[in-house]
Amino acid sequence: MFGNTFGRMFRITTCGESYSGGFRKDPAMPRELYGGQMVIVDGVPPGLKITAEIIQEELDKRKPGNSRLSTPRKEADRVFIYSGVMEDNLSTGAPIGMIIPSSDIEDVHIQQHKENRNLVRPGQASYTYYKKYGRYYDWAGAGRASARETAARVAGGAVAKQILDRLGIDVIAYIVESHGIKAAPVTYETAKANYRKNELNCPDLEKAKEMIDDLMMVKAAKDSCGGVVEVIAAGVPAGLGEPVFDKLSAMIAHAMISIGGVKGIEFGDGFKLAAMTGSESNDTPYYDKETGRIRFRTNRAGGLLGGISNGEEIRVRVAAKPTSTILQQQTTVDIAKGTSVEHVFASRSDPTICTRLYPVCEAMMRITLLDAIYMAEGYKKIASVIDPNWEQL
Ligand SMILES: Cc1cc2nc3c(=O)[nH]c(=O)nc-3n(C[C@H](O)[C@H](O)[C@H](O)COP(=O)(O)O)c2cc1C
């Protein structure tokens, strides 16, 4: 498996599976070391205050069992800092290592997965993991394809947040659509004021009630549904992004699409732009006397032009498919026997992944932005060495 590092200068490397710790229950070892998620964060400057409490604040948004709308799996998602932080909780500049032990890895659940190890789980990654890793593939709770993996991303993103906060860059994500029920469009300010007021993190408080009622019905019917999470990054300076392959838009898409269950991403007005004319879609630039900056009257481009940030807020929407593991009988295949079977997969699943997806989107956006800032600032510094006035026309 090669793709476990994200970022070029500010980087996270993660490892960890869903239940593999359950296979290493050696009483001679502290429980925390059986297994879980790990993240190594590279590119952290020295002198940054990092405590387990600071990281925990972000992890608590993602952890399972938070609400009626999330999986009953009970994971504490407690983070332990392992390296890179010393006196007074200040970073030394060395890689920051963190572990998030899995606590809910009971034999009974592993046994359930073992009984189904030869069955293709519809909508899940079991078939493709089997094709890629053969008889050694991790059949216990989706292994590395499990959303447990996203805990490590959130811990890494929490480190990035500490730096972005100082740069005045705020990233927020919230649900704007669930099972086809759409929230009204919101400004950053309204979203910020309202987004933590319900279990869905949906800033349209009326629509959120409708969404929650609907989700309870979907759950009662032992089914699942998808939705859309919107992410705003406010305070992002113009000039981030490295054309042509590492445009900021491309890096954000990479970050988001790498999250399990995410099937699409839109920037600004996104797919709606396809139906517009040029005169309708262009954002009109103007000179803002107050800030001395060029700004745009509208932001249909979502804060990106040519894949480079234009100084307006970055706004993207991420579409998630319905949770694939449902408590219903489904037709599938027994790989070992080569036969079709009807099966109900024992499930401790989320009726929608959106309730726990938004902190992951925030984390991935933060990591992407900080990485882009490192690149852009390094480049600017060198350009200034060549010509100190390079920024003036
Ligand atoms: C926060 C979060 C929670 C998730 N919860 C579940 C779950 O409970 N059950 C499930 O089958 N998939 C869940 N998923 C989705 C799977 O991780 C994803 O469908 C799987 O890895 C297959 O990848 P794909 O859907 O991108 O093809 C979740 C994803 C995220 C981001």
Structure tokens belonging to residue 177? 């659509």
Which amino acid, residue 45? Answer: P
Total-model pTM: 0.97
What is the distance in A from the centroid of ligand 1 to the CA of 146? 6
pLDDT in tens, 236-251: 999 999 999 999 999 9
Q: Is the pLDDT of residue 201 over 90?
A: yes
Is 108:18 a contact under the CB 8 Å cutoff? no
**Interacting residues of 43 by C-beta distance below 8 A, sequence separation 6+:** 7, 9, 10, 11, 370, 371, 374
Q: Is the pLDDT of residue 63 over 90?
A: no
What region, left, alpha or beta, does residue 317 occupy, with left being phi > 0 and alpha being psi -120 to 50 degrees?
Answer: beta
pLDDT in tens, 273-284: 999 999 999 999
pLDDT band at residue 129 under the 50/70/90 scheme: very high
Among 53-67, 92-106, 190-204, which is the least confidently predicted range? 53-67
What is the distance in A from the centroid of ligand 1 to the CA of 353? 7
pLDDT in tens, 286-322: 999 999 999 999 999 999 999 999 999 999 999 999 9
Rounded Cα gap, residues 86 and 60, in angstroms: 24
What is the distance in A from the centroid of ligand 1 to the CA of 311? 33
Note the pLDDT of residue 67: 74
Cβ of 105: how many Cβ atoms within 10 Å?
26
Helical packing angle, 52-62 and 149-166, nearest 10°: 120
Structure tokens belonging to residue 196? 């933590």
User: Which atom of ligand 1 is found nearest the CA of 350?
Assistant: 8
Rounded Cα gap, residues 103 and 114, in angstroms: 19
- Ligand 1 lining (C-beta closer than 6 Å): 71, 124-125, 142, 145, 147, 150, 259-261, 321, 323-325, 349-350, 353, 356-357, 360
| Residue 104, CA atoms < 13 Å, CB-side half-sphere | 15
Mutate to test the pocket of ligand 1, among 353, 358, 360, 362 (most ligand atoms within 8 A of CB): 353
Rounded Cα gap, residues 1 and 244, in angstroms: 27
Mutate to test the pocket of ligand 1, among 37, 323, 357 (most ligand atoms within 8 A of CB): 323
Share of the chain above pLDDT 90, in %: 88
Cβ of 279: how many Cβ atoms within 10 Å?
6
What's the mean pLDDT in 319-328? 95
Which amino acid, residue 324? Answer: S
What is the distance in A from the centroid of ligand 1 to the CA of 333? 20
Cβ neighbourhood burial of 49 (10 Å; 0-12, 13-18, 19+): exposed
Pairing assessment for the beta strands 314-320 and 181-182 based on DSSP bridges: unpaired
Rounded Cα gap, residues 332 and 352, in angstroms: 22
Q: Is the pLDDT of residue 69 over 90?
A: no
Among 4-13, 63-72, 235-244, 249-258, which is the least confidently predicted range? 63-72
User: Token pair 């190890």 is at which residue?
Assistant: 117
3-state helix, strand, coil in the chain (%, to 5): 35, 20, 40
pLDDT band at residue 141 under the 50/70/90 scheme: confident
